[in-house]
Structure 1
Amino acid sequence: MRVVGVDGCRGGWVAVAYDVETGTLTPHFHTPFQEVLDAYPDAVAIGVDIPIGLSEREPRACDLEARKVLRWKRSAVFPAPDPRLLDAATYEDANARSRALTGKGVSLAAFGIFPKVAEVNRLLTSELQHRVVEVHPEVSFWALAGRRPMTHHKSKPEGYEERRMLLAAELRHSLWTRKDAFSLARPAQPDDLLDATVAAWTARRVAEGRAGRLPADPALDARKLRMEIVY
């Protein structure tokens, strides 16, 4: 059985294919997202670190619940964008339109993922969502660590090692040193690689019927996509 974890990175997407029987982990860089879907037609489940299913008028319950469980790491959860803003050409345009529509602005970090959110949600259907699910790496690491948020920031060497050790113990795979990870799926960064790997771990849980969900009973967006974070 093969499952895949995917994380957005500079210039595209890093995917880690996980062969559950052999324990093999294979990273690869892809662009655009359609290439990810085409590359793994036999994957039983694909976990993607990107909002799937978008709300126009209120925060998604899955984002609120993720922030709650992550406690001191709650800032790792960016609010999913209002779908009416995804065609904004500039940050200034997105921010002004958001204030006009909702009374709130948009952070620069949140605006940075708009193109990838639009790309994935354009391709996803309710049927495809049975196989392609939204994950949040920090929520998955929280679950992997016995419902404890990570201590260190993922981009720091100690944060990389904290996450690598959790995954290595669970997957029975030594995984990559931070130094080696820089060259495995360029231009993806080491933390992108671990995020994709924990997304693959989550995809395995989906395939085996063991995954948790935030919230337990998700709402649907206007396109009938479930607004949920799977872990």
Structure 2
Amino acid sequence: MCNPYLKSKTQVGFSSFGSAHVLDFVLRAVRPALDAAWCQKWLVHRRIRPEEFGGRIHHKLTGDANYPIHPVVLNSNALSKTYEKYKTYLLPQAFAEACPTHPEYPSGHATFIGAMVTMLKAFFNESFVITDPVVASSDGLSLESYDGTLTVGGELNKLAYNIAIGRNTAGVHFRSSAINGMLLGEEVAIGILRDYQTTYNEEFEGFKLTKFDGTKITI
């Protein structure tokens, strides 16, 4: 945790290292992260969505077109189960409006949540143990005590992964887009923190955080 005011008996953080600072930096990371994602989407990769890829699979298996698709995909159990239920090889979608029309890689949601969570890690004690955690009951109607240890860092990582991977579950992204989007957002946030690190008048040891790959860094 980087706050230089934690040990002060006379001052607290406000415009720097206070709540306004934290909220500003968490939101400050969003647009640059999305800019980075859209640069990769349009100017580098332009990768099709799972829905479009499902269309290619469908047309290949029905003989309407011929695409170079790996046999592992064409022979997967998921395809046979999809056809058994829907009478089509098209990829089912969670959204009625189907997938977005811009390129797939990387995930914009994964990129901006990766950046936001990285900012939160920089300001808060990741090893702090959450007291008396609870989880939803199996029927979802009540809360039950959680038998285990939850930390701020662990919960922030789960938040990032849930938002990123949730887009895969919906059928609009591949797993690589979620994981690499988070890493791209993380780098954007680290870059912002690095730019600001030398601007503070307080005695400041730097921002300390744990990256998604487990590496501990000080900025």
TM superposition score category, shorter chain reference: under 0.3
Higher strand fraction (1 or 2): 1
TM-score normalised by structure 1 residue count? 0.25
Higher helix fraction (1 or 2): 2
